[in-house]
Structure 1
């Protein structure tokens, strides 16, 4: 009987650890995805600000972010440099990322 209880306890601990590691891995992957979406949105805004693409820079960034399932939290332009912040949620927890794009400094 004691061996059965010990086996069940070990199985439960192993399952709990596995679920924790899977959740942590998924959160890390989601963070990388958010960074990529922020980069793409900032590049879209910078391209629009430079005239390479038509439209309004922050509107273009919002289109790119919404296509990836995120919302624009902030968008600012300093000349041709665009800084874009996006927001989303992972397992009902808020997540955000910020990126900057533009020509290299001279």
Structure 2
């Protein structure tokens, strides 16, 4: 019986570790997706703000964020500089990222 108890305990510990590692991995993937979506959305909005492409900057950012599987949480336009914040996932498992795009300072 002692061997069975030890085996069950070892299995429980292994299962708990596997669940923990999976959660960390999923959070890492969500974070990377959010960062990529924020970068793409900010660049698309900056292109629209500069006139390189047609459209309203924050609407462009929303379109690109949704195409990347994210929700646009905020979009701020300061002349040609656009700052966006996107969210991937929901609740306590959501990941947020922020990105900024526009011409370099002094140009």
Q: For residue 42 of structure 2, what is the aligned residue in structure 1?
A: 42
Q: How many residues align?
A: 106
Q: For residue 67 of structure 1, what is the aligned residue in structure 2?
A: 67
Q: Secondary structure at the match of 1:52?
A: coil
Structure 1 runs of 4+ aligned residues shifted over 2 Å read 90-95
CA contact (8 A) 1:27 1:90 kept: no
Q: Which range is displaced more, 15-24 or 81-90?
A: 81-90
Q: Does 1:4 align with 2:16?
A: no
- Counterparts of 1:20-59 in structure 2 under 5 Å? 20-59=20-59
Q: Give the TM-score taking structure 2 as reference length.
A: 0.91
Cα root mean square deviation, aligned: 1.4
Q: Secondary structure at the match of 2:105?
A: coil
CA offset digits 1:74-97 (Å, max 9, x no partner): 111111110011123257633321
Q: Secondary structure at the match of 1:55?
A: coil
Structure 2 unmatched runs, 5+: none
Q: Does 1:81 align with 2:75?
A: no
Distance (whole Å) between structure 2 residues aligned to residue 34 and residue 89 of structure 1: 9
Q: CA deviation at 1:36?
A: 0.7
